[in-house]
Amino acid sequence: MTDTTSALPAGEAPARAAIAGLMALGGHAVSLLAAYLAARLVQPSAGGGLEDVAAAALTFLGSQVLLGLTCLIVSAILFRRGRRFTGLGLIGGWLVGLLIVVVLTRVV
């Protein structure tokens, strides 16, 4: 007689890793959009100040730190609760997005 039980928890499928990874990549896109909007909304001073650049950099870095901590904490909680595919997909998507951001900053 063969064992027909599944090792996966109910509702946990490998496709959830891809969905979680896309959600993390979407977080990077939101971070870039927020930085762009911050740069557009802040007006530099008349003397040629860099307030708009500072607002964009602070918004981008702050949102990236927040995104990274959120993905790390949620991924650890999901992994601990047995949702391994979702947890690994989330942290993997965040890492892929981080690599894309680093490559884009080197190119541009």
Residue ranges per structural domain of the chain: 17-42+50-107
Alpha-carbon gap, residue 41 to 82, rounded angstroms: 44
Dump pLDDT digits (tens) for 73-98.
Answer: 999 999 899 888 999 999 999 999 99
In eight-state DSSP terms, residue 44 is: P
Other residues' Cβ atoms within 10 Å of the Cβ of residue 102? 10
- What pLDDT, on a 0 to 100 scale, did the predictor assign at position 92? 93
Secondary structure of the chain: what % helix, strand, coil (to 5)?
75, 0, 25
Alpha-carbon gap, residue 86 to 12, rounded angstroms: 8
| Contacts of residue 23, Cβ cutoff 8 Å, sequence gap at least 6 | 90, 93
Dump pLDDT digits (tens) for 26-67.
Answer: 999 999 999 999 999 988 877 777 888 899 999 999 999 999
| Contacts of residue 77, Cβ cutoff 8 Å, sequence gap at least 6 | 87
